[in-house]
Amino acid sequence: MSEKIVDRRAVLLAAGLVAGGVLLDGGPARGLARPSARRPATPDEAWAKLREGNRRWAADASTHPHQDLGRRAEAARKQEPYAVVVSCIDSRVPPEIVFDVGIGDILTVRSAAQTIDPLVAGAVEYGPAELDTPLIMVLGHQRCGAVTAAAHALKKGAKLPGHLQRIVDDLRPAYERARGDVDRMIRINTTMVVADLKAGELLAPRVARRKLKIVGGYYSLDTGKVTRLV
């Protein structure tokens, strides 16, 4: 952020023009130095935090937490994200927005239809393995374009160009189990990714010791709500 922008924000803060928690919490000085709330330490606490944030988002009551200079400074020294969200690349499903979180709160891993290969799985494993992150949420979503395109290609027996065919191949088992129904395929694919991650040799012992939960969810583009699948 440039100094100019910082100065402008300071002026706005002093004038009381910036909405949100900073001024309400006791003025700009205290707001900037405000310690963050305790990081959720267990899988269930982490899910509760994500669920609260999603409820705010769905109700058009987002508070945009942890998006101020104080949080930036705090997180610059150390990150302690409490969840990994594995979601689709879709422009309408940015995890930080749909769970109303901010800097340092979650790790996000995104691929088409949240498909995983060894490289993506390694990125997912980083949080639990290195940062003790207690929750992984795999998030599918309504009207997923990647799943829809894969379903069409599989139905017609068509080959997609470039690396797109890799995505189609990966989604074939979900297509077969869903018998071609796209919305069922989205949900089945999400639960299959959860199962694949749970079976991984690095994550399985953490799941068994209950230090980690791997859950699946479905995001509705229409309502903004995330519902748990597994």
Residue 146 vs 215, nearer CB to Zn ion: 146
Residue 110 vs 211, nearer CB to Zn ion: 110
Helices (H), the chain: 3-14, 21-24, 28-33, 43-58, 69-77, 95-98, 118-131, 145-156, 164-178, 182-199, 204-208
> Residues 40, 46, 84, 90: which binds Zn ion (CB under 5 A)?
90
Position 22, amino acid: V
Count residues contacting Zn ion (CB under 5 A)?
4
User: Interacting stretch for Zn ion, rule CB under 5 A, among 10-18, 57-65, 75-83, 139-147?
Assistant: 139-147
Residues in Cβ contact with 148 at an 8 Å cutoff, skipping those fewer than 6 apart: 182
Least separation in angstroms between residue 136's CB and Zn ion is: 18
Q: Is 138 helix (H, G, I), strand (E, B) or coil?
A: strand
185 binds Zn ion (CB under 5 A): no
CB-CB contact of 162 with 177 (8 Å): no
> Residues 101, 144, 185, 197: which binds Zn ion (CB under 5 A)?
144
> Residues 88, 171, 185, 197: which binds Zn ion (CB under 5 A)?
88
Q: Which residues bind Zn ion (CB under 5 A)?
A: 88, 90, 144, 146
